[in-house]
Chain A
């Protein structure tokens, strides 16, 4: 049952990812993206990472992609964009990038270090510890506890990084003096 569901979600998420690139209009690409994110959430549930799955749907599919959709519609980009595409020397570069990425991925999947992420996946003790944490603290507490104790510095730094990005966006979007501004 779990295997069947995994194959289903995997096919939908990979197919959706292909659809994002090949979709005929930005709206189609966006919906493919939502399908990919939602089936990734399904895979998280199969791994019993319920909280991650909920946050995946809530933040990515439910908020960020809706903002994307909002922008696509507000700027009236919902039409077929293929006429806008220009193929030149850039397409050669993209072939090189895709090839390099693919070789890294193949190396990662088939290489010698692939089968156990530092032994964590195969380690039954680690899995049991996770089960115990979920049973004791609930699905949210099991993530929140290490996040706000062991990894609190990394957590705060990421928060700062996002703040920097937001401030930068505000600065970029602000009209620059002159007659148009304010």
Chain B
């Protein structure tokens, strides 16, 4: 193992790790927005919205995220969408993650006992009020852990943007493997940084999960 080389290049990996973190944060925010809208559509009382929501989930979960990214980044200019690689990465991955989060959020909402809504309505709350004051606060508690799993997958999925040359961790590792022929060392550097990010996020999710439980 070439420790000297690793010491020499690790600042570049640290810098790239920040790009991965920034990508993950922005993607997670966009994913949550898309997931919330998707779940609202899937649970809507309008058939058109339910269909659109189901189509969104099916299409984006049924095709590779890499292809979705390529359609957006390389195909986008043909239909008038010009994005730089980083923007395409955030938007592509965010919409993709949103499809997975839609199912997580929807699952948590339908897991809440029907009696809760009925009781709220009986007490005189409107349908909206019942959703916002009774159902969602309970569903939110159930969502934390599975959304944490989505987040974990999302962080690893940010590696895909290496394929459109965003200089994040995997791209940096790929470049240094190419120039130094030391795949194991470069994997170790990037891998450790990924695992630190995922570990910290995992701890954060576990903390939040404990925090929101009632008991």
Interaction A to B: no
